[in-house]
Structure 1
Amino acid sequence: MNILPSIPFSSLEWTPLPLLATATEAESSSLIIAAVLLSLVVIYFASKLGGEICVRINLPPVLGELVGGVIIGVSVLHLLVFPEGGASASDSMLIQFLLATSELTPEAASSVFATSSEVISVLSELGVVILLLEIGIESDLKELIRVGPQAAIVAVVGVVAPFATGTAGLIYFFNVAAIPAIFAGAALTATSIGITAKVLAEIGRLSSKEGQIIIGAAVLDDILGIVVLAVVASLVKTGKIEIFNVVYLIISAGAFLIGAIVIGRFLSPYFVKLVNEMKTRGQLLLAGLIFAFILSYIAQVIQLEAILGSFTAGLVLAETEKRSELADQVIPVADIFVPIFFVCVGAKTDLSVLNPAIPSNREGLIIAAFLIVVAIVGKVITGFTVFGQPDINRLAIGVGMIPRGEVGLVFAGVGSASGALSPSTDAAIIMMVILTTFLAPPLLRVVFKEPKVTLEEQSN
């Protein structure tokens, strides 16, 4: 009796399939690594080239990283594109290069593209966590307290005025939905302390009354802005605005920030003692990162953002005797991960949505112009809220608060990743960040009309 006809033909071929699948998965895994490595090569090259150019023309290197990302991204070269922006494997020039130079098949290209893009996105998010840790370590709570109420008023007005004006304007004049409008308004609150401090140092005004108020207010701006960002990003997750939810998020963000600082300052001597007793290499850096990641995890679990946790960790660690040593050790780590974040922000920005030749894009251009005006005016007015200082240069204080820089890009990046922003609104925020950052250095030099104070004079 012949039993072969009763056995399905497919069953005769079933045994080799797991072996073939395993071989295919191994091949795909190696090609995913290759795609990630190629992406990092492109990212680092773009960041360094753009940064070096900007440094040589006296602009912050972060702008070069952003512009470098725009060039290699969806707007120009399509070397670094992402699925969430609507791109496919056929749109990625890196995947096309892999197809031409490796054994990658067209069938596996989509999987390799999606997975490698996800890896780069995760590295980018890790980069912004480390960036906020670095910013926190560089901040000085004692200096904030010393500057006093003038800086606090400047900071509060510098957050409330542009946030309220920008959000209300987008909702009532441009019919933008509430959550995207709030996110765009939140992006207007930032101030880049790094850019302003660099310019003030160059013109010899860092130790002046104006300079101290600007720096103190900028640091407070960052703290308030990051709390606002954590609240807004949490609203995006729920998809709706409820007063109870907003109040809960604000209270939880404030309680987390203050509570972590108070508890952290109590535990910091034990942290220092533990690090001093460790004998292995990298003990301080890894202990600091563990602390930052734990706070980031807690912040994420209570519906806030990981960046609030890492920033808070930086503030706590800045109060220890290991501050300078830790800051030096964090810099190389930041140099590896932070450029990925900024380049990815630029790469995901589709500037074609601001092309005035396309009628549907003109609203986005108008929104960009509106955000730029609010961003400038909303900060300039802060200088005129300073009291008890009759001879102070109030216009200089306001101008010093204008640049958004890397902090503004954090808002844009988080907003873009959350999906809360439309392409036109996202591009408008990027244009606002770029323009305010470019304008601030020359404007600061103009508003400080008195002769420079030399470093020697400052020390006296």
Structure 2
Amino acid sequence: MSRAAKIVLFLLALAMFISSLLLEVDYTHTEILKKMKMLVIQLAVILFAAKLMGEFFIKFLKQPAVLGELLAGVIIGPFALGSIELPILHSPLFPKYPDFPVSPELYGVATVASIILLFLAGLETDFQQFLKQSLTGTLVGIGGVLGAFVFGNLITVWFGLAPKGFMDPVALFMGTISVATSVGITARVLSEQKQLDSPEGTSILAGAVIDDVLGILILAVVVGMVSAEGVMGGPKEKELKELMDKAVYAHKKHDYVQSAEIHQTLAKEYQNLEKARQRTLQERPKKAQEEHHVDWKQVGLIGYKAFGFWLGITIVGIILAGRISWFLKLFNQGTMMALGLALALLISGLAESVGLAAIIGAYAIGLALSKERISDELEHAFQGLYNCFVPVFFAVMGMLVDIPKMLDTSILTYSIVFTVVAIFVKVLGCGLPSYLTGFNTKGALRIGVGMLPRGEVALIVAGVGLASGVISQSMFGVAVAMTLITTLIAPPVLVKIFDDTPGRYKDMGGKEEKVSSAPGPVLSLDDVEPSLVYPCFHYISIALEEKGYETKMLSHRPDHIYQASKGDITMEIREKSSQILFDFPEESKSEIQDILKEALKRLRADIGQLKPRNIGKEEDGKKEN
């Protein structure tokens, strides 16, 4: 076929394709089919935008992919390009929803992605290092929570947005919003920088666990106080929500008359509800308004459930890790990955049932398995899922940003001050305890900045306040602005401050560790076929462990990196293009060379046992017989 004929054929086929999309036919699709149609198209657009923007940030801006994925979400989200109505869909690609910026289906996919991310973060964590940093992590979590809550509350009072002072529901909610740390974003950056296994990385992850548990307790107290104040929504609010849903549905059906009538009814009902609430507050005795009764017994039970679940599942997971590992090794890589994901989803769902974030359950079970050899195989098996799902999570986080609300001049000053204070107190509140427990100034700064990003939890808390009528749309915009800015600031700063300098003091006396500037010897395996990279690492790891080394995969994204340690000796094995490089101390050169020769000898022997056979000839021979 000639080139001209191919062009004509292509144009005809393209015209048929576009016309078939634009042609309106009245199909009798059920609601669930319509939702699934939108979901698959949304996921396709998100993956295209997030991955391409992430690659742009990595290759051209030399920044973490997470920044590009977040920005891609902002650009294509419901508050930007996603709100434009498309003729093909007869609706926007990412329509706004009454209670949340994105659909429950899309947010569900993002939640699964966050579970995968934190499960892998747990698998990549050095368990022994995590135990060493548990005290620091606890102090980091407590310091960050207390500082963020108190100052977030006080700033709101200082700007006159909380008439009743520190215990005003608005101030309490804004303080709670500033507490939560988005460990998923930090974990992604640490993983890309090969620092997830460092003392600072394990301290951040340990601190994030404490941060999440304390955040749940504070939210429970705040909700209890607000409920006692009589501000939280009741049956009437549920009726109004149903009316709002009907209005949105009518608008989608292009029944603008019914939509307008419902909105008029909503406006009147909200006015009546606000008048009734104000009347109730005025008639209530002054003493009753100032007293806030908290069911401390209930708060105590919530705290027990949160701490009890996390400690319980981690300890049980550690005890059963060997048996779980043995069970997973009975299957091929695909089944092993599926069963590992099922375990992470199960524990995450149980975590949600006791009031913890699902990602904490995923991290706990990943941490329990991290001390077993199966952790490296699971990380390798999950690589494809990671590359597809995790960018969706960060893009959806970007979609939650309401840009017009951020630019509301009436509250812009408060938004700026609230964000600056939220940054300062989080870094100081988490960095100071780190400094007091053996980290130097740079190490403490790394931990403080690592705990800085707010994310999905902060937005969910803000949504609770907005839905209950405690905070306004403008205050919700402040929460979104703070979340976005802290999330965008942390990754590039983390990349900048995580250099080769140590983050800890050698002892509490204040003497800093000294790192020799002279590089150790480097051995390399050259021209390694990509398909042999993982087997090479596997055999080398086995040989090292037989000589008493403890091995751990630090990362398989984008290249494999292993760390091996024995006593004071630490070496790094990493992939670079078609090479496998070995960095180790001078005194270990002879031993490492012997280990490497033994590993390669075993690999060649096992490959040599694979004897090809000509099936066609064998079958011909059988026929002749």
Interval of TM-score (by shorter of Structure 1 and Structure 2): 0.7 to 0.9
Residues 1:397 and 2:443 are matched in the alignment: yes
Aligned residue in 1 for 2:70: 66
- Asked whether 1:330 is paired with 2:382, we answer yes
Aligned-residue offset at 1:229:
4.6
Match of 1:137 in 2: 123
Distance (whole Å) between structure 1 residues aligned to residue 139 and residue 221 of structure 2: 23
Residue 208 (structure 2) pairs with residue 222 (structure 1): yes
Give the stretch that moved more between structures: 398-407 or 156-165.
Answer: 398-407
Shift of 1:419: 5.4
One-letter code aligned to 1:71? I
The corresponding residue for 1:7 is: none
**Contact 2:427 2:452 (8 Å CA) reproduced:** no
Whole-angstrom distance in 1 between the partners of 2:446 and 2:403: 28
5+ long unaligned stretches in structure 1? 1-22, 80-91, 388-392
User: Bigger radius of gyration, 1 or 2?
Assistant: 2
Give the structure with the larger helix fraction: 1
Match of residue 128 from structure 1? 114
Give the Cα separation in 1 of the matches to 2:500 and 2:183: 24
Does structure 2 conserve the Cα–Cα contact (< 8 Å) formed by 1:191 and 1:402? no
Cα separation, partners in 2 of 1:351 and 1:454, compared to 1, 3 Å: farther
Is 1:181 aligned with 2:192?
no
What residue is the counterpart of 1:286 in the other structure? 338
1:313 is matched with which residue? 365
For the residue of structure 1 that corresponds to 2:449, the secondary structure is: coil
Asked whether the 8 Å contact 1:75–1:350 carries over to 2, the reply is yes
Deviation at 1:346, TM superposition (A): 0.8
The Cα shift of 1:44 comes to 1.1
1:17-56 matches, within 5 Å, as 25-26=28-29, 29-56=32-59
C-alpha displacement of 1:330:
2.2
Residue 456 in 1 paired to residue 443 in 2? no
Change (3 A) 1:314 1:377: same
The corresponding residue for 2:400 is: 348
Q: Which amino acid aligns with 1:164?
A: L
1:359-385 deviations in Å (ceiling 9; x for gaps): 333211221111122233334434431
Q: Does the 8 Å CA contact 1:47/1:339 hold for their aligned counterparts?
A: yes
Tell me, yes or no, if structure 1 residue 244 matches structure 2 residue 244.
no
Residue type of the alignment partner of 1:430: L
Q: How many residues align?
A: 398
Contact 1:345 1:412 in 2 (8 A): no
Tell me, yes or no, if the aligned pair for 2:306 and 2:356 is still in contact at 8 Å.
Answer: yes
Indicate conservation of the 8 Å contact 1:383/1:398, yes or no: yes
- Judged with a 3 Å threshold, the aligned counterparts in structure 2 of structure 1 residues 231 and 330 are, in CA distance, closer, same or farther, namely farther
Report the alpha carbon displacement of residue 231 of structure 1 after superposing the two structures with TM.
4.3
Q: CA RMSD in A?
A: 3.8
Residue 417 (structure 2) pairs with residue 372 (structure 1):
no
Q: What CA deviation, in whole Å up to 9, does each residue of 1:183-219 have, x standing for no partner?
A: 3123389993553565576xxxx9xxxx953233223
**SS of residue matched to 1:187:** coil
Check 1:416–1:121 CA distance in 2 against 1; reply closer, same or farther (3 A cut).
farther
Q: Which residue of 2 aligns with 1:5?
A: none
Residues 269 and 320 in structure 1, CA contact (< 8 A), matched pair in contact too = yes
Check 1:333–1:377 CA distance in 2 against 1; reply closer, same or farther (3 A cut). Answer: same
Give secondary structure in 1 for the equivalent of 2:180. Answer: helix
Give, in whole Å, the separation in 1 of the partners of 2:459 and 2:516: 37
Who is 1:169 aligned against? 151
Q: TM-score, normalised by structure 2?
A: 0.56
Does the C-alpha gap of structure 1 residues 132 and 190 become closer, same or farther in structure 2, counting only changes over 3 Å?
closer
Shift of 1:158: 2.5
For residue 435 of structure 2, the aligned residue among 366, 370, 384 is 384
| Per-residue CA distance 1:94-137 (angstroms, 9 max, x = gap) | xx21xx225x599xx999xx999231122122222222222222
* Structure-2 residue corresponding to 1:84: none
Q: Quick check: 1:317–1:323 contact (8 Å CA) kept in 2?
A: yes
Q: Does residue 101 of structure 1 match 2:83?
A: no
Q: Deviations over 1:152-184 (max 9, x none)?
A: 454333222232122111212313431341231
Secondary structure at the aligned position of 2:355 is classed as coil
Higher strand share: 2
Alpha carbons 2:176, 2:219 under 8 Å: kept: no
Please tell me whether the aligned partners of residues 443 and 502 of structure 2 are also in contact (alpha carbons under 8 angstroms). Answer: no
Change (3 A) 1:271 1:212: closer
2:321 is equivalent to residue 268 of structure 1: yes
Q: 1:315 Cα deviation (Å)?
A: 1.7
Code of the aligned partner of 1:315:
L
State whether structure 2 residue 361 is matched by structure 1 residue 300. no
Whole-Å separation in 1 of the counterparts to 2:62 and 2:91 = 46
Cα distance in 2, alignment partners of residues 75 and 325 from structure 1 = 41
Q: Partners of 1:285 and 1:186 in 2: how far apart?
A: 31
1:30 is displaced (CA, Å) by 4.5
Percentage of matched positions with identical amino acids? 18
Partner Cα separation in structure 2 for residue 353 and residue 397 of structure 1: 36
| Other-structure match for 2:509 | none
Distance in 2 between the 1:116 and 1:25 partners?
25
Select the structure with the greater relative contact order (CA < 8 A; seq sep ≥ 6): 1
Q: Please give the alpha-carbon distance, in whole angstroms, between the structure 2 residues aligned to 1:194 and 1:452.
A: 29
The whole-number CA distance in structure 2 between the counterparts of 1:144 and 1:66 is 29
Equivalence map 1:351-362=2 (5 Å):
351-355=403-407, 358-362=409-413
For residues 155 and 110 of structure 1, what CA distance do their matches in structure 2 show?
39
Q: Report the residue type matching 1:172 in the other structure.
A: L
Aligned letter for 2:313? A
- Distance, in Å, in 1 between the alignment partners of 2:412 and 2:80 is 18
Listed one character per residue, the Cα deviations across residues 378-402 of structure 1 (whole Å, up to 9, x for unaligned) are 3443443135xxxxx7111112113
Q: Partners in 2 of 1:32 and 1:426 — Cα distance?
A: 27
Are the counterparts in 2 of residues 128 and 410 from structure 1 also a CA contact under 8 Å?
no
Instruction: Report the Cα distance in structure 2 between the residues aligned to 1:254 and 1:115, rounded to whole angstroms.
Output: 32
Partner letter of residue 171 of structure 2? A
User: Is it true that 1:430 corresponds to 2:484 in the alignment?
Assistant: yes
Tell me the TM-score normalised to structure 1 length: 0.74
Equivalent residues of 2:406, 2:480 under 8 A apart: no
Q: 1:259 to 1:407 in 2, by over 3 A?
A: farther
Q: Shift of the alpha carbon at 1:343?
A: 0.9
- In terms of mean alpha carbon deviation, does 445-454 or 285-294 score higher? 445-454
Amino acid corresponding to residue 204 of structure 2 in structure 1: A
Q: Is 1:257 the counterpart of 2:310 in the alignment?
A: yes
Structure 1 residues 182 and 69, CA gap change in structure 2 (3 angstroms)? same
- After TM superposition, the structure 1 stretch with the greater mean CA deviation from structure 2, 40-49 or 294-303, is 294-303
Q: Which amino acid aligns with 1:70?
A: V
Counterparts in 2 of 1:110-129, with a 5 A limit?
A: 117-129=103-115
2:143/2:429 contact within 8 Å kept: yes
Distance in 2 separating the partners of 1:190 and 1:126: 12
**Structure 2 unpaired stretches of 5+:** 1-25, 158-169, 228-293, 504-513, 522-570, 572-583, 586-625
- Alignment check: 8 A CA contact 2:138 2:207 kept: yes
